[in-house]
């Protein structure tokens, strides 16, 4: 059971691991700090083979000749040793795992998430660099935040403050544009009025 | 079944790049590695029961986080207005910039590390653990939790492996942790090269302090020659350290002395150029010796003397406390 060097991945020699607080790699010379745990010495597990079902015994749904050892927690089908899949403390059959049943609950299996709150916050801020497009991004941010408000956040960040700040910035930009439009319209009207009066 | 929204506790180490980042979190029974790219987070879970080993190796890691980058850009931007500043402020700005750059380089080279986590089927680098102090804190927090789940390995596991007896595993808490084993006999704290290096430090600083006010070209050349010898000594000490022939204390002295020489060189060059440039610009002639230039040298020689004394202490301690080895016996 070799412990590899963290820098070059070469196996660290046992005499270094045995005698040193820092194991020096003979390949790259790095002084590795090593922590090992008992699972390093665990023998590799071989998959358990299903036992044949005797007459009258419950059999696996997919392998009728094999003895059932459990029932699928999702669909209730009997599964043999080979078919039983441990899934978050429950036993599932391969079909349910493949179909992704209960994937909404299986947070601990999610490999990635889209950060909608970060998108909502970045768009109105980044658009300030080229401010005329805030006429679209301002209201767009408010709508986007409202639409994605209930979507799952990051696994490790639970607060929705990014959404709140994004909505505030989006509203500010929208109000700014509305004010500009109204102000310009008023100016235009006043100018037109003065022009009319002047012509009289 | 695990709770739908598990609570995570942040573990030491965080990397925040411009478009990517990484961090580590502690769950109920696993370590969660989070890698961020643009607006997507990717997760990888390492269950405590599966972790076989965590290995940390030192190595240079050059990273600039977003907060540091923003601060650095703001600082550099302020330099555009240098033309309007008094000379002393300009010198301070240049000295500060040089010192910050040297500090970043020093930290990146001396305190960088690579941390890997091994399981039976994977070997993953933990990108958020890239400084030695972070790695130490990470191990301090994680090791007891893994040992709580798996138990501990006997201190002499590697020796047992060598003799094919197999390691002795302790399932209960309280067993001796692997890193608490006896360290091997340390590398010697002094060698002939380190003795000469220590001597050079003292001589360079003594000669430099005695002649710092002198405009004589002879002493200038002597000081330059001594500095070069001192740098060569530091390089030899570093080479000896990398070969395991000398201890860490002297290596640190060598690194500090090299950094000090580098910083001094840049500070004196900038100081001299700016002050004389300003003098020539205002119609005055250039100066051979300027006050801040002398001051920088005095500080440097003073610090060099301190380093010389530290290395002398290390040398003397080594001379009187090194255990006799087999050859001496």
Phi-psi region of B183 (alpha: psi -120 to 50; beta: other; left: phi over 0): beta
Q: How large is the average pLDDT for residues B90-107?
A: 85
What pairs with residue B13 in β-bridges?
none
Contacts A–B by Cβ distance under 8 A: 163
- Give the tens place of pLDDT for each residue, B269-325: 777 777 777 777 777 766 655 566 677 777 888 888 888 888 888 887 766 554 443
- Closest-CA distance, A72 to chain B, in angstroms, reads 14
Percent with pLDDT over 70 in chain B: 82
Q: In this predicted model, what pLDDT tens digit does every residue of A12-66 receive, in sequence order?
A: 877 777 765 688 888 888 888 888 888 887 766 666 666 777 777 888 888 888 8
- CB contact under 8 Å between B8 and A20, yes or no, is no
Q: Is the pLDDT of residue B123 over 60?
A: yes
A44 to chain B, any CB pair closer than 8 A? The answer is: yes
Tell me what ipTM this predicted complex has. 0.73
Minimal Cα distance from A1: which residue of B? B161
pLDDT for res B328: 37
Stated length of chain A: 200
Q: What is the pLDDT of residue B3?
A: 46
DSSP B34-71: EEEETTEEEEEEEETTT--EEEEEE-------HHHHHH
Tell me chain A's radius of gyration from C-alpha atoms: 32
Q: pLDDT for A65-94, tens place per residue?
A: 888 888 888 888 888 888 888 876 778 888
DSSP for residue B111: S
pLDDT score recorded for residue A196: 63
What chain B residue is nearest to A110 in terms of C-alpha separation?
B43
Entry pTM: 0.59
Helices A134-148 and A116-126: crossing angle in degrees, nearest 10, is: 170
Chain segment B147-186, per-residue pLDDT in tens: 888 888 777 766 666 666 555 555 544 333 343 333 444 5
Residues in chain B closer than 8 A to A25 (CB atoms)? 57
Q: How close is the nearest chain B Cα to the Cα of A75, in Å?
A: 16
**pLDDT (average), residues A154-179:** 91
Q: What is the mean pLDDT of residues B113-126?
A: 89
pLDDT over threshold 50, residue B91: yes
Residue of A31, A40, A88 with shortest CB distance to B2: A88
Q: What is the mean pLDDT of chain A?
A: 82
């Amino acid at each position: 059971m070799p412990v590899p060097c963290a820098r070059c991945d070469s196996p660290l020699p046992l005499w270094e691991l045995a005698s040193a607080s820092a194991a020096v790699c003979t390949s790259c010379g790095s002084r590795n700090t090593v922590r090992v745990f008992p699972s390093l010495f665990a023998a590799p597990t071989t998959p358990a083979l299903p036992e044949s079902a005797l007459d009258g015994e419950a059999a696996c749904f997919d392998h009728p000749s094999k003895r059932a050892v459990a029932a699928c927690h999702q669909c209730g089908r009997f599964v043999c040793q080979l078919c039983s899949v441990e899934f978050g403390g429950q036993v599932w059959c391969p079909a349910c795992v493949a179909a992704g049943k209960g994937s909404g609950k299986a947070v601990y299996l999610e490999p990635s998430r889209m950060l909608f709150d970060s998108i909502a916050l970045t768009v109105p801020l980044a658009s300030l660099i080229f401010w005329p497009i805030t006429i679209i991004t301002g209201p767009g941010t408010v709508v986007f935040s409202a639409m994605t408000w209930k979507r799952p956040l990051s696994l490790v960040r639970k607060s929705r403050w990014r959404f709140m700040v994004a909505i505030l910035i989006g509203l500010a930009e929208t109000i700014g544009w509305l004010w500009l439009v109204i102000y310009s319209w008023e100016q235009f009207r006043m100018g037109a009025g003065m022009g009319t009066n002047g012509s009289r | 079944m695990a709770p739908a929204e598990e609570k995570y506790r942040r573990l030491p180490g965080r990397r925040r790049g411009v478009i990517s980042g990484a961090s580590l979190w502690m769950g109920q029974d696993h370590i969660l590695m989070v890698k961020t790219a643009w607006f997507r987070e990717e997760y990888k879970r390492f269950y405590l029961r599966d972790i076989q080993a965590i290995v940390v190796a030192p190595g240079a890691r050059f990273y600039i986080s977003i907060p540091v980058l923003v601060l650095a850009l703001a600082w550099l931007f302020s330099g555009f207005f240098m033309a309007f500043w008094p000379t002393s402020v300009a010198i301070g700005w240049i000295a500060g910039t040089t010192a910050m750059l040297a500090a970043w380089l020093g930290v990146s080279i001396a305190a960088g590390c690579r941390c890997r986590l091994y399981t039976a089927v994977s070997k993953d680098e933990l990108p958020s653990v890239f400084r030695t102090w972070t790695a130490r804190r990470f191990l301090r927090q994680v090791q007891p939790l893994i040992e709580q789940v798996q138990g501990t390995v006997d201190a002499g596991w590697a020796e047992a492996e060598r003799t094919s007896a197999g390691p002795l595993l302790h399932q209960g808490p309280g067993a001796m942790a692997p890193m608490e084993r006896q360290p091997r006999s340390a590398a010697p704290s002094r060698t002939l090269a380190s003795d000469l290096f220590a001597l050079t430090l003292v001589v360079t600083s003594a000669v430099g302090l005695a002649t710092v006010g002198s405009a004589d070209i002879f002493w200038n050349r002597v000081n330059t020659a001594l500095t070069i010898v001192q740098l060569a000594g530091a390089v030899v000490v570093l080479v000896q350290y990398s070969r395991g022939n000398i201890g860490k204390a002297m290596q640190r002295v060598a690194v500090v002395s090299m950094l000090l020489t580098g910083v001094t060189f840049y500070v004196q060059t900038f100081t001299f150029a700016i002050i004389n440039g300003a003098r020539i610009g205002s119609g005055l002639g250039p100066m051979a010796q300027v006050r801040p230039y002398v001051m920088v040298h005095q500080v440097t020689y003073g610090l060099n003397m301190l380093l010389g004394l530290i290395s002398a202490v290390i040398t003397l301690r080594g001379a009187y406390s090194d255990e006799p080895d087999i050859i001496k016996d």
